[in-house]
Amino acid sequence: MTYRNFTVETDADGIALVTWDMPDRSMNVFTEEAMRELDSIVDRVTGDTAIKGAVITSGKDTFSGGADITMLQKMLSIFAEEKASDPQKATQKLFETAGYMTGLFRKLETCGKPWVSAINGTCMGGAFELSLACHARVAADSDKVKMALPEVKIGIFPGAGGTQRVPRLTDQQQALQMLTTGQTLTPKKAKSMGLITEIAEPAKLVETAKGLIKNGLSAVQPWDQKGFKLPGGPIYSAAGANLWPPAIAILRRETYGNYPAAAAILKCVYEGLLVPFDTALRIEQRYFTQIMQSREAAAMIRSLFISLQELNKGARRPEGVPETKFRKIGVIGAGFMGAGIAYVTAKAGIPVVLIDRDQAGAEKGKAHSESLMDGAIRKGRATQADKEKLLSLITPSADYADLNGCDLVVEAVFEDSGVKKAATEQAEAVLKPAAVFASNTSTIPITSLAKNSARPKNFVGIHFFSPVDKMMLVEIILGKKTGDKALAVAIDYVRAIRKTPIVVNDTRGFFVNRCVLRYMAEAYKMLIEGVPAPMIENAAKAAGMPVGPLSLNDETAIDLAQKIMKQTIRDLGEKAVDPRQMELVDTMVDKHGRLGRKNGKGFYDYPEKPARKHLWAGLKDLYPQQDADKIDFEELKQRFLFVIALEAARVMEEKIVTDPREADVGSILAFGFAPYTGGVLSYIDGIGVAKFVKIAKKLQKKYGAEFKAPKLLLEMADKGETFYERFNPYAGAEAKKAA
């Protein structure tokens, strides 16, 4: 029998080699077709007396990325349609559909013949659950081999036996850590946990796997054998009593109850380990069905998996423009930002010229890359050879003539129009006509900077976030005259350095900074109201933000906030900035010299290690303090999320951002907007636009104009629209398909 996604070859020893190699896909994934074929293969192995056992491996460089997420989307869309007419029947069907993979893997592990998974690369999600269902697992000894059950990161959890097999192979503490964080494991780590059986040389991977079967590998899983005992002891034991209460408290501390899937993992493991294995699988299936119906799962799957993948693949790239293969990139300005851009460029294997005012400055910029590589080597994430290779790609220089031959130049000089003008003119004097010039500016409109260019069609904004090596988002800003080629080159570059591009039209602060400034301004307002600073920070984190607004302001620098506010007043007039907030920032900077983390004192104090940072005690003396017991903590949380979401809605209304995927993904990647919501616009859609507007009006009446809903939202509320309906990112593709 032939299969589309697998091949089966049985050797002279009676061992079947099942090779997973899906045509027309760069990575194997579980589709309905692939699962049906695997089901048939299990039957074939079981029924053929000549087959003693089976090894499953991949014919590609990686093992598998797990389940095809569009399959989950299809499940949810069918459920949504059927729920309207018969909710109980729809839920039962979802339960049964969700359990198909569980049943398949259980069938494999109880078929009476041993299976071994030979893992030759990335093995994620459902693919690792398949491997765990095998009677042994062999991983290639390679840096390319990574194993994980990362589903919690997109709002669901490993629901094909993962929550039951992992804590039966390793101790419960390590199991919970892995499952609730989506932790990625190396072969060495996985073996130390008992999750894989052997580590083999890549060339001997299949041979080693077959050897386990030849040597009498049992076809019965440990948990199916009489007398099986859990690693680390049972739930009701001294070890269990020391683990579970703290585990529940730690999860609450880390998630604030915002992630139902993480809580469901604890329930699955706890309840599942108290009952026989087949009953445990049903418990897992029940919780998985419940989580699949949650708003958080739908939003996170869409934004953090589907939309993120689409943007990373160039969803916003203009059609008909040939892809750029970068031979040489220029970076002007070797300060912290420019040095970081040079580093990520070289890390992507692209030669880069790093220009600064003098050679010493350029050399210092290159030294930043050396420092980052030294850190990676200390952590075991890079080798000395990796470091030498990367540094060989960076050429420090003070001569603009060295930019000759660059496909793209990124200017990252001081945030001053005059300095940027000089850099643009000097670079364009030596660049080939087809080269693209990009400015990494965070405040100055691209259209005004493009006036310095002799070829504004080839001028674009590429806005990085600090630190460049860690931040995954890049804003690409279009000036009024930016052409399709410049946009395409910018997107190609951002993809080449393995970051996520979003496309933004020109405006003050672009998209991200407009939202972030609202977040910090609301914290200023709360301080002025007399809300205790710890409540402000805790409310923001409880709302789902990774960093409190005062801490974030310290990182970006309070004196920078002061400069931005003063420049805004100069450009837009006194009414553009709340005078009380201006006074607060002036007091912090001018009176108390508190600039932020950079000088060791801001809203926080930063003592020498090992002491930890703590809020500055003087904050409570700046304004009369309210009684904390009388402050509505839930309202504080709401204010933070609403003020950001309202600004995002204004950005959509002004057509600064035109694709809701970019607003959602950008808000999460750039400043960590409550990931469980799916992003700023999904947050509004999830609440319901009409209800959101109603709450916003109450907040406006109580706290001011920043909560005023824009006309766009009022109109959407009247029409019962969502952002993904009104600004359907797939409308063009659907129209073409219909035609």
Q: Known catalytic residues?
A: 463
Exposure string over 211-228, b if 16+ CB within 10 A, otherwise e: bbbeeebebebbbeeeee
Q: How far apart are CA 300 and CA 555, in angstroms?
A: 27
CA distance 8 to 10: 7
d(Cα 222, Cα 134) in Å, to the nearest integer? 11
| Residue 482 CB-half CA count within 13 A | 29
Tell me if 123 sits within 8 A of 145, measured CB to CB. yes
Q: 139 φ, ψ to 5°?
A: -115, 140
CA dihedral for 423, 424, 430, 434, sign (positive or negative): positive
**DSSP structural state of residue 476:** E
Structure tokens at 424: 């643009």
d(C-alpha 302, C-alpha 77), whole Å: 12
**Which residue, 159, 121, 137, 145, is CA-closest to 26?**
121
Calpha distance 39→106 (Å, rounded): 11
* Distance (Å, whole) CA 390 – CA 381: 14
- Contacts of range 727-734, beta carbons closer than 8 Å, 24 or more positions apart: 727/652, 727/658, 727/659, 727/660, 729/315, 729/659, 729/660, 729/661
Q: What's the Cα-to-Cα distance from 529 to each of 548, 550, 620, 631, rounded to whole Å?
A: 17, 15, 11, 11
Alpha carbon distance 638, 37 (integer Å) = 49
Contacts of 343 (CB under 8 A, 6+ apart): 368, 369, 372, 390, 394, 468, 469
Q: What separation in angstroms does the CA of 682 have from each of 213, 587, 597, 647?
A: 50, 37, 33, 14
Rounded (5°) CA angle 597-603-606: 45
Closest C-alpha to 605, from 556, 554, 535, 533? 554
Rounded to whole angstroms, what are the CA distances from 670 to 513, 546, 556, 658? 9, 11, 13, 18
**DSSP three-state, residue 727:** coil
The three-state secondary structure class of 632 is: coil
HSE-CB of 628 using CA atoms within 13 angstroms: 8
3-state secondary structure of 702: helix
CA 85/CA 72 separation, integer angstroms: 21
User: What are the angstrom distances between the C-alpha of 483 and each of 16, 69, 442, 713, 716?
Assistant: 56, 35, 21, 31, 32
Tokens of 225: 């054998």
Which two tokens mark 66?
Answer: 């797990």
The DSSP code sequence of 26-65 is: SS--B-HHHHHHHHHHHHHHHH-TT--EEEEEESSSSSB-
Question: Rounded CA gap, 158 and 131, in Å?
Answer: 13
- Give backbone dihedrals phi and psi of 488, rounded to 5 degrees, phi first: -60, -45
Task: Report the distance separating Cα 64 and Cα 34, nearest Å.
Answer: 12
